[in-house]
Amino acid sequence: MDHFPIDPAFALHRGGKMEVSATVPVRDAEDLSLAYTPGVAKICTAIAEQPALVHDYTWKSKVVAVVTDGTAVLGLGDIGPEASLPVMEGKAILFKQFGGVDAVPIALACTDVDEIVETVVRLAPSFGGVNLEDISAPRCFEIERKLQERVDIPVFHDDQHGTAVVTLAALRNAARLTGRALGELRAVISGAGAAGVAIAKILTEAGIGDVAVTDRGGVVHAGREDLTSVKRELASYTNRAALTGSLEEALDGADVFIGVSGGTVSEAAVATMKEGSFIFAMANPTPEIHPQVAHKYAAVVATGRSDFPNQINNVLAFPGIFAGALQVRASRITEGMKLAAAEALAAVVADELSADNIILSPFDERVAPAVTAAVAAAARVEGVARR
């Protein structure tokens, strides 16, 4: 029974958004004997003797597992593995559309960290990389760390690092547009979850002047007794100004606001930011600071929405990052590779900068090739490339 006969979203999703398509013909007995038995036995034997040949004679070198447990799906929260599948299918087709990378959605019916790690370790021989998706914090940090220790293919949690890469690229261009350097800027991040932690880390690696991260308890600082291990580590390399107050207090005199938490920031607090500030209010569907308010005070405004200029969209990063890593058969994705991706993404639009154009649309055909090339080159420099 069709409960939603006139809703275009349901019409589009009926039957799913993906299928498996053969890349070789199977038209007759000869084709069959080559694609399957007996011809396939030659390939299997060759790979058994030289395991690295798996990259040349299977799809391993161009396919990513998109893995979730359904605990932090978009803005929907913990909706479970079955309900997460439409999003995982969507992620897979974005990999293909924007990076030429095949991807397989894998929704796991478990939420235990070690069970997830063990499951993915056992699946890893089939894939060239693992994209962790929509797994709640702080478990996502531990899963990524433990999994990367166990497998020799890239493991990438896009909710963290994809967001961070695109945010850094946009911030670089906002600074260039206004004649400033990252080292001159003080940023405040609202949200100490997966995205907030990763953004703080990559901004620090990129040389930002200072960055403070806030959660429900205010600024994350070493003096707080309620911090998780992840937030204690975060406090060790952020907040050089030693702030201890609320988000609103931290914004006083700040150059940059980055929102990845939801909620609302008052206009009065926005008004205390430094003149010519940058506001990246990225919560969906409701930005922490509405662009109409942000534009009263900020030189550059970005959101996570496609109906406003300067959308901070992960799809600008993850297809090219994986395409570059797979191209050189990288064993992991390093901080240097992420920084290279951000710089490449920023550079694509460098000659076309304006307040409404600090980051390109993912449909710009220059994006994925630029990121892919930069990541592949950085992998070689970082010593993680095997090709």
Residues designated as active site: 36, 91
Type of residue at 251: L
Per the annotation, does 159 bind a ligand? Answer: yes
Which residue is associated with the tokens 């479970």? 80
Per the annotation, does 239 bind a ligand? Answer: no
Per the annotation, does 284 bind a ligand? Answer: yes
Distance (Å, whole) CA 112 – CA 116: 6
Q: Which residues pair with 188 in a beta bridge?
A: 212, 257
Distance (Å, whole) CA 235 – CA 12: 45
Distance (Å, whole) CA 240 – CA 220: 11
Whole-angstrom CA distances from 150 to 55, 112, 250 are 19, 17, 40
Which residue is associated with the tokens 């002047």? 209
Per the annotation, does 2 bind a ligand? Answer: no
CA 64 to chain centre: 14
**In terms of residues, how long is the chain?**
387
Identify the H or E element spanning 64. Answer: strand 63-68
Whole-angstrom CA distances from 165 to 170, 334, 344 are 9, 12, 10
> What radius of gyration, in Å, describes the C-alpha atoms of the chain?
22
Q: Where are the alpha helices (DSSP H) in 307-352?
A: 318-327, 335-348
Per the annotation, does 134 bind a ligand? Answer: yes
Annotated binding site for (S)-malate: 284, 313
Annotated binding site for a divalent metal cation: 133-134, 159
